[in-house]
Amino acid sequence: MDILSLFVTVPIFTLIALLFAKGLKQVRIISLIGMGIQFVMAINLVFAYFKERAINSDIMVFTQDYTWFKNFNIHYTVGADGITVAMIVLTAIVVLAGVFISWKTEDLPKEFFISLIVLAAGVYGFFISIDLFTMFVFYEIAVIPMFLLIGIWGTGPKEYSAMKLTLMLMGASALLLVGILGIYFNSAGADGVLTYNILDIAKVTIDSDAQKLFFPIVFIGFGVLGAMFPFHTWSPDGHASAPTAVSMLHAGVLMKLGGYGIFRVAMYLLPEGAAEWGNFFIVLAVIGVIYGALAAVRQTDLKYINAYSSVSHLGMVLFALLMMNKTAWNGAIMQSLSHGFMTALFFALIGMIYGRTHTRDITKLGGLLKVIPFISVIYVIAGLASLGLPGFSGFVAEMQIFQGAFQHPDTFHRIASIITVSAIVVTAVYILRVVGIMLMGTIKNEEHLSLKDATWYEKTGIFLLLIPIIGMGMAPLWLSDMITESLAPFIHRML
């Protein structure tokens, strides 16, 4: 078994073990062991990657290839570059933190962890695949457990949210199917063989008309998952209804599939399409950034605030990807990672606050810093990271994005960049507003006086997420180098 496929097989074995588990204690121990192994494997992968990279200059390393449906030239092909490795580390950390945060799942714990791990397996599979068909299979496997996770363990209008989220995401994946078929039937190289392999397709210049036709289809197909305006509406409802760990995983990891897919499939394989449609999608991305930020200002539900903030941050990822230069792309990947850790941390903290106070309405909360100082302080830190304070991951990412964006001298890009930059100010407004109302001031509800601070498993989850945020902010270079190196083939093909 190769080092990458293990990321799919370990969850499968964990699932099989879970089937025989009884009671919450066994279930969470098995999940913890399984996801702990994944975490160790992810850390190990980073070192193995650097070692392999030193001697191997292929676009993808650790490649493995098994034929699946040979009539369609469908393979199970895996491989990794620096971006993949970074995404896998993100996933491993968020999933492990999610297991800790869900430590006290009372209702149907076995089913909860099984769904969660199916989702994780789908995400890992998506990131390691370099065959479009396999990638698509994993994409759907990652999305569908959300229906059960939100519908069974969620809060509020959970059935509505679960249905809306699933239908929008699966509708998007259906659209993506058309795009993938379009790419497949235009992928014949000199030998005339059709292929789903991304690396092989990247050697072919796809017919220009086909590129222009299928680029928006693939872009929107992935863009919906990346909460692209105006297809973001599933995100606030879905996140608000989802249980904590699911919000973490979804905002932290699953939504990254969107940006990753756009970059790796839509833009990389259809560069002419990207050139043709770039400006159109820049407009949408900019609207998403500013709209998400403004909407977050008006919300009073903590989860809605964070969900709209995700729309805004991920809009920035799309914006950066469409800026078409190395610096911005680097920033986009960094922003993906940074947002993944940050938003997962936010949702974890919101879950803790909600679990204690039973409300997410910030107008009913106040002075929490006095009663639950640990959670509150971490919330402030996460907030500062989110608004891009130097020293945290957000700053590193946004700095690069705007540095890249301002390299375009023309009016259109300049205006778009300026509008996007201004969203940072709005971000500060909604973050500081929450901090001011919820954490500072007087305690509004006397029952809150007896609240207990974070437990050991909650703290473990928090630290898992906090360390990379600070780590990326303090020492971004090794990560940045790893990503920049992997951008070479993209630069070669698109610029």
Partner 1 sequence: MTIENFLLMRNEISLLAVILLILIGEIFVSNKKTVINIAIILFIVHTIIGFLPLEIGKLFGGSFRTNELVHFFKSVLNVGVIIVLLQANDWIKEKLSIENKSSEFYILLFATLLGMYYMISAGDFLMLFIGIELATIPTAALVAYETSKKKSAEAGIKFILSAALATGVSLFGISMLYASTGSIYFTEVSTLLTNTPLAVLGFVFFFAGIAFKVSLVPFHFWTADTYEGAPISVASYLSVISKASAVFVMVMVLFTVFQSLSAIWVNMIYGIAIATMFIGNLFALRQQNMKRFLAYSSIAQAGFILLGMIANTDLGITTVVYFAAIYIFSNLAAFGVVQSISHKTGKENIDDYNGLYRTNPKMSLVMLMALFSLAGIPPVAGFFGKFFLFTAAASKGYYLLVFIAVINVTISLYYYLLVVQAMFLRKGENPIPFYKNSIAAKAGLVIAVLGIFVIGLYSPIYEYIADISNFVFK
Which residues lie near partner 1 (CB under 8 A)? Answer: 68-72, 74, 133, 137, 140-141, 144, 147-148, 151-152, 158-159, 162-163, 166-167, 170-171, 174-175, 177-178, 181-182, 184-185, 213
Q: Is the CB of residue 124 less than 8 Å from the CB of residue 45?
A: no
Helical spans, DSSP H, in 255-325: 255-261, 268-269, 271-298, 302-322
CB 114, min distance to partner 1, A: 11
Report the sign of the C-alpha dihedral through residues 256, 258, 261, 264, in that order: negative
Structure tokens at 438: 């919820």
Q: Is the CB of residue 427 less than 8 Å from the CB of residue 387?
A: yes
Q: Is the CB of residue 39 less than 8 Å from the CB of residue 88?
A: no
Considering the complex, state which of residue 140 and residue 276 has its C-beta at the smaller distance from partner 1. 140
Measured from the Cβ of residue 85, the count of other Cβ atoms closer than 10 Å reads 26
| Phi, psi (rounded to 5 degrees) for 432 | -70, -30
CB 177, min distance to partner 1, A: 6
Q: Of the candidates 94, 34, 38, which has an alpha carbon nearest to the alpha carbon of residue 347?
A: 94
Considering the complex, state which of residue 176 and residue 469 has its C-beta at the smaller distance from partner 1. 176
Torsion-angle region of 358 (φ positive above 0: left; ψ -120 to 50: alpha; else: beta): left
Considering the complex, state which of residue 213 and residue 389 has its C-beta at the smaller distance from partner 1. 213
Structure tokens at 253: 């990891």
Considering the complex, state which of residue 174 and residue 425 has its C-beta at the smaller distance from partner 1. 174
CB 367, min distance to partner 1, A: 37
CB 245, min distance to partner 1, A: 18
Distance CA(277)–CA(3), nearest Å, equals 38
Q: What is the DSSP letter of 373?
A: H
Considering the complex, state which of residue 224 and residue 324 has its C-beta at the smaller distance from partner 1. 224
CB 165, min distance to partner 1, A: 11
Considering the complex, state which of residue 185 and residue 463 has its C-beta at the smaller distance from partner 1. 185
CB 154, min distance to partner 1, A: 9
Distance CA(293)–CA(415), nearest Å, equals 18
Distance CA(340)–CA(253), nearest Å, equals 6
Q: Is the CB of residue 5 less than 8 Å from the CB of residue 65?
A: no
Considering the complex, state which of residue 250 and residue 356 has its C-beta at the smaller distance from partner 1. 250
Considering the complex, state which of residue 15 and residue 438 has its C-beta at the smaller distance from partner 1. 15
CB 70, min distance to partner 1, A: 6
Q: What is the DSSP letter of 191?
A: T
Structure tokens at 312: 């805004």
CB 109, min distance to partner 1, A: 14
CB 152, min distance to partner 1, A: 6
Report the sign of the C-alpha dihedral through residues 106, 111, 117, 119, in that order: negative
Considering the complex, state which of residue 115 and residue 327 has its C-beta at the smaller distance from partner 1. 115
DSSP state letters, 223-268: HHHTT-TTS-THHHHHHHHS-HHHHHHIIIIIHHHHHHHIIIIIIH
Distance CA(369)–CA(227), nearest Å, equals 32
Q: Quick one: how far is CA 110 from the chain centroid?
A: 25
CB 182, min distance to partner 1, A: 6
Considering the complex, state which of residue 152 and residue 297 has its C-beta at the smaller distance from partner 1. 152
